[in-house]
Structure formats: structure tokens, C-alpha cells
Amino acid sequence: MKHQRHVTASALLAIAILMTLSSATLAQTSNGSGAKTQSKTNNPANRLGLLELTMQQTAAKGDKAFGRAQGEYWGLISAQNDFPRAYNFFSNLAAAHPSSPDILGLEGSAIGGYIGWLYSSAAGNAVDEKIVMALDSKARSSFDKALQIDANNFYALFGYAIYESYNPTGAEHSKELFARLEALRASHPDYPWQVVEEFKKERGTEK
């Protein structure tokens, strides 16, 4: 079944805000029990550069080093409100690793964060709706491709489910994606389920 692709600008803003919140939550759980990772430098720009290098070097392996790096990375990106950097980084990383579902899923989330930044005062300019709609299409394409490669990918399922939950026409698709994710709890205890629970609390949907 094809899902409605149209989404309003206000809905995109809501999507993007939630993506930034989810990114911060993912940063906490990826580093273990919400503990902050001790940076080797007090300069955020330098630290972001080091984390990007780590992700570039470990992207093909999909190991824990990549997970820890992306977790700390999102924490710094959120703190610095530097979503354009994350968007550019994950877009380039996805271009270099077009068959990695993890990276494609993270690219979709990075696009959501970038859309939110465009609507924030930090951007300082009026938003070009055509650009936003193109970004929306790109985010969906990244999520869809990730799930075609790995139907059980956490980053893609969770990120896409959140994205669709804020689309006025995406409620059913969001429920479907969340159901697919929840079905993986027993077989994938290693997934950061705390992020899912945090999202439920944010939305007031926890049963």
C-alpha cells in the first residue's frame, strides 16, 4: 500500500522538533544509562570532527564504536544547535555507504533535524517551502531504502515511525512501523529500547 506523501509545513516543523528531541535521547542511551561521555577536548567543533572521523572509519563495520560515536555526536549537535552540520555529514556518509541501513536511517533523522533548524530563529531567513518539501522527500527515501535493505533496522523503523506520527496523513503508517519495531523486543534486546519508552512518555502514549 502506498502512503500519502503530502505533508504540511507546520507538520514538518513538528516532525523536526521531535526528531531533535529523539536525537538527544538517543545520545543518552547510546552512551549507557544516560551517562555523559567524557570528551577528550573542550572544543565542541574539534570533538565533532573527531567523532565524524570515528564514524567514517567504523561505518562499514557497524560495531559498538560507531554506536557510541553517533550517540555522543547527536548530544553535541543538539547542544550546539548545529543541525546543518549533521545533515551535511550524514548525507555525505550515506553517499559513501549507500547500502548501510543504519546510516540511511540516521540520514533520515538528520534531515528531520535540519528541517527543524530551518524553521528556527537560528536560520534567520524565510523558509523556502519547495526546499522543505524536497528535504521531506529525501528523508522518506532514506528511510524506505534502509528498510528495503534491512526490514528490522532500529534507526530506520524508529526514525520513520516518529516522522510519520507527525504527518497528518501518516498515523496508520506510524502505527505499522511501531508495531514492527515492538515485535523485535525479544529477538533484539540489544536495541536501545529506552529511546522508544522515552518517546512514548513524550507523546503520552505509554500504556
The answer to whether position 133 is within a domain reads yes
The answer to whether position 2 is within a domain reads no
- pLDDT-derived band at 4 (thresholds 50, 70, 90) equals very low
The answer to whether position 39 is within a domain reads no
The answer to whether position 3 is within a domain reads no
Domain total in the chain: 1
Tens of pLDDT along 110-149? 998 888 888 876 666 788 889 989 999 999 999 999 999 9
What is the rounded distance in angstroms from the CA atom of residue 33 to the CA atom of residue 205? 22
The answer to whether position 158 is within a domain reads yes
In terms of residue numbers, what domain contains 155?
9-34+44-203
Task: Compute how many other C-beta atoms are within 10 angstroms of the C-beta atom of residue 95.
Answer: 10
Single pTM value for the model: 0.80
